[in-house]
Amino acid sequence: MRLPSRAGLTAAFLVAAVSAACSPTFNWREVPVGDAGLVVMLPCKPDRATRALPLGAASVDVEVVGCEAGGATFAVAHARAADAAQAEAWLTAWRAATRAQLADAQPTESAATLPRAAPQPAPVRLDGIGNAQAHLRWFAQTRAGGVSLYQATVLGRPSAADAVATFDEGLRLP
C-alpha cells in the first residue's frame, strides 16, 4: 500500500481546514414554534425566550424564537388567546405598539395571505424602510381551546436579496 506524500497530506489538510471554515451565512433550517404546529424556516440556530408583552390592558406571555444572520434579525413570536375576540384585541394592540417603535421607518400596512391562517383576526403585513428596515407579518390560527397568534419579523437589511422571501415562504401552518 502506498502512503500519501507529505505534500499530499498538507494539501488535504488545507482543503479540509478551508472547507470547515466556510460556513454559509444563511444556513436555513425548519424550526417549530408554539404548540399549534407552526413550522418556520430560520437562517441560523435559533435562541428561544419567553417574555411578558403588554397587549392593551393585559400582560401576555409571548414565546420568541429567533436568530441573527447576514446583517438581520429573524424571529417569530407566539401567544395564545382564549378566543377570537381576545385575539383580535391583542393583535390590534401588538400592531400599534410595533408601529410606534418603528415610526422612523415610515411603516406601511397591507393585507397579507398565509395558507391555513385564520380569517379573523385577518393576516396583516407591515413593511418599513429607513434607519430600521423592518418586515413583519401577523397572523393567527384557530385551534381547539383558543387562538394562536404569531408575529414573524425580519429587522435589518439581510445580505442576501432573497432572505426575506425565503423566510416568508417558510412560514407553514398545519
Task: Give the DSSP letter string of 4-57.
Answer: PPHHHHHHHHHHHHHHHH---S---EEEEETTTTEEEEESSPPEEEEEEEEETT
Beta-bridge mates of residue 153: 75, 136
- Please name the residues in contact with 145: beta carbons below 8 A apart, sequence gap of 6 or more: none
Tell me the whole-structure pTM to 2 decimals. Answer: 0.83
Condensed to tens digits (0 to 9), the pLDDT of residues 1-27 reads 444 544 443 433 333 333 334 458 999
Residue 9 pLDDT: 39
The residue count for the chain: 174
Confidence at 108, pLDDT banded by 50, 70, 90: confident
Q: Which residues partner with 151 through β-bridges?
A: 77, 138
User: Residue 27: what pLDDT?
Assistant: 96
Q: What is the pLDDT of residues 65-77, one digit of tens each?
A: 999 999 999 999 9
Q: Which residue has the cell 380569517?
A: 119
Indicate the fold that domain 25-169 takes in CATH. Protein Transport Mog1p; Chain A (3.40.1000)
172 or 7: which leads in pLDDT:
172
pLDDT of residue 80: 94
CB of 27 within 8 A of CB of 43? yes
